[in-house]
Amino acid sequence: MFPNPPKLRRFTLFLSPPHVLLVLLPFSPLLRSQARDLLPTKFRAKLTRVHASYVLFSSTTGQTLATIDGTALTLYRTSCVSALASRILSRNDSQVLVMIGAGALAPHLIRAHLAARPSLKKVIIWNRTVEKARNLAEKMQESVAFEGVCFESNGCLDEVVGMGDIISCATNSEVPLVKGKTLKAGAHLDLVGSFKHSMKECDDEAIRRGGVFVDNEVALVEAGELVGAFERGVIGEADVCGILVELIKGGKAGRRSCEEITVFKSVGSAVVDILAAQLVYETYMQQNQ
């Protein structure tokens, strides 16, 4: 007998008849401690904070098509969504990208923004730990894929924000990092990190000054920057300019002038996850026929 019996959570998802997906999730408080105890101390610090697996099923037969590293899938999906929004909302002549945060997502966001805006010539990286920002800048500069792009780190946040044509944030901050008053005219602010009410990467002034767009409606009830702004009357939900799909389809206008500040807030969605997983699967099958 287990001293702490695993708890079993059962979820039944009714799909199109007669298909039903039954999910059984056993959980034991022992799992975390046992995993750590089995690993040598020197390896524990090297583990990422989030471990995820994505399983893709056939909607026709129910068979498992692929098991994908969910963390890697999220990194690519998130960065590509931000870059797609930037391609629509940022200025065509953007030259300076400011990356706030130097964690696992940062290099993916940098690559994606550079692909979406080939006009970018400089990337400035800021992180609370200055050494991490410096190390990432040096690593990115060594890549032959970014010929003609200058990478540097800077420890003065307000200064670098004011230099950015595109500012991308990927942090877990619960205090505003980007101050709206420091954004220059025509800047595009990309907010990725927050996913609960207590988290916020910019202040109310940034939300007030910018035309705000979101990846989907869930951002209106999850993103700390927006929920807080709604509660304080800075803007209302009706003031949000549109969602990404509307921008892509042309149902909503994006940037209206070279001087306008635009803000894009993403929280992720299961729909984009499955599209990304399907793309990975189909690409792999085509390359390995």
Using CB atoms within 10 A of its CB, is residue 20 exposed (0-12), middle (13-18) or buried (19+)? exposed
Domain boundaries, the chain: 1-47, 80-270
d(CA 80, CA 159): 27
DSSP 8-state code for residue 183: P
pTM (predicted TM-score):
0.85
d(CA 223, CA 218): 8
Give the SS3 label for residue 90.
coil
pLDDT of residue 147: 86
d(CA 192, CA 223): 9
The candidate with the shortest Cα–Cα distance to 54, out of 252, 285, 272, is: 272
* Number of neighbouring beta carbons within 10 Å of residue 255: 19
The candidate with the shortest Cα–Cα distance to 168, out of 231, 120, 224, 227, is: 120
Q: What average pLDDT does range 213-231 have in this prediction?
A: 95
Overall fold of domain 80-270: Rossmann fold (3.40.50)
* Number of neighbouring beta carbons within 10 Å of residue 110: 26
DSSP 8-state code for residue 184: P
Q: 209: number of CA atoms within 13 Å, CB side?
A: 20
C-alpha to C-alpha distances, 189 to 26, 103, 186, nearest whole angstrom:
41, 18, 10
Q: Virtual CA dihedral for 106, 112, 113, 118, nearest 10 degrees? A: 140
Confidence of residue 34 (pLDDT cuts 50, 70, 90): very low
pLDDT of residue 35: 43
* Number of neighbouring beta carbons within 10 Å of residue 138: 13
Tokens 């695993």 identify what position? 6
Q: Tokens for 271? A: 């729909």
Q: Is the pLDDT of residue 42 over 80?
A: no
Residue pLDDT, tens place only, 103-149:
999 999 999 999 999 999 999 999 999 999 999 999 999 987 888 99
Residues across the chain: 289
Q: Is the pLDDT of residue 61 over 90?
A: no
